[in-house]
Amino acid sequence: MEADGERAPGVSRRRLLIGGAGTLVVAGAAGYAGRDGIRRWWWRASGKERPRTDGAVDHPGAEWVAASSANWRRAERPDDYAVDRIVVHVVQGGYGDALRVFRDPLHEAAAHYVVRKDGHVAQTVRELDVAFHAGNRRFNERSIGIEHEGYVDRPRGFTDAMYASSARLAAGICARYRIPVDRTHIVAHSEVPGTDHTDPGPHWDWERYLRLVREAPVS
């Protein structure tokens, strides 16, 4: 694993499937910060903001690693948007790569969770909020996005520990929002309407994954 804050050799932003590389917007950090400030002010003034605790997570045991606020939108799900989908992603890179681009305000994308090969889970966006991960606004609003460390063409990277841990995470999400455990409601990023992304690819073992989600104890 490369050191935090460094780009892995040969892994350019363009090669990471998350978010799409061609969508960079010419805007400085100040512009993002200003927009975020206005949004926060509105939520506070409206009286609709739920109390949130810094570092709180929705999945017990997850490590909180905040994504840049430019890569998600503040919401109050499931009050404002019903949550009825989970979108499964593969990073096309390492765990550290995913966390790094999620922190980058110019990346314009982040998922809610990143699962590492050894099963460790990072939460990067709260489930209350709309993360920009599916490349489809309606899908972003209705879904939780789970990224998995690895590459679509390297199935050996999809370890037992990763499947098991991701399945526990998905089982908890399904329980929280009463989402049926099936392929209509747990979908590949490649199945999201309008996306040009191919993850998690043909080697993701859906039969095994759904069985593990059904069998997982919900904490």
Smallest distance, Å, CB 39 to Zn ion?
25
Question: Looking at this protein, which amino acid is placed at residue 42?
Answer: W
Smallest distance, Å, CB 148 to Zn ion?
9
Q: How far is CA 128 from CA 124, 152, 195, 215, in A?
A: 12, 29, 23, 26
Smallest distance, Å, CB 115 to Zn ion?
13
Whether cis (ω within 30° of 0) applies to the bond prior to 105 is no
Q: How far is CA 104 from CA 60, 90, 129, in A?
A: 26, 18, 18
Burial (Cβ within 10 Å: 0-12, 13-18, ≥19) of residue 211: middle
Binding site for Zn ion (CB under 5 A): 17, 89, 189, 197, 199
Pick between residue 22 and residue 217 the one whose CB is nearest to Zn ion.
Answer: 22
Q: How far apart are CA 166 and CA 54, in angstroms?
A: 24
* Residue 22, Ramachandran bin (φ over 0: left; ψ between -120 and 50: alpha; else beta): alpha
Pick between residue 56 and residue 166 the one whose CB is nearest to Zn ion.
Answer: 166
Pick between residue 44 and residue 138 the one whose CB is nearest to Zn ion.
Answer: 138
Smallest distance, Å, CB 97 to Zn ion?
13
Pick between residue 70 and residue 114 the one whose CB is nearest to Zn ion.
Answer: 114
Smallest distance, Å, CB 111 to Zn ion?
8
Q: Per residue, what are the HEC states of 122-154?
A: EECCCCCCEECCCCCHHHHHHEEEEEECECCCC
Pick between residue 36 and residue 155 the one whose CB is nearest to Zn ion.
Answer: 155
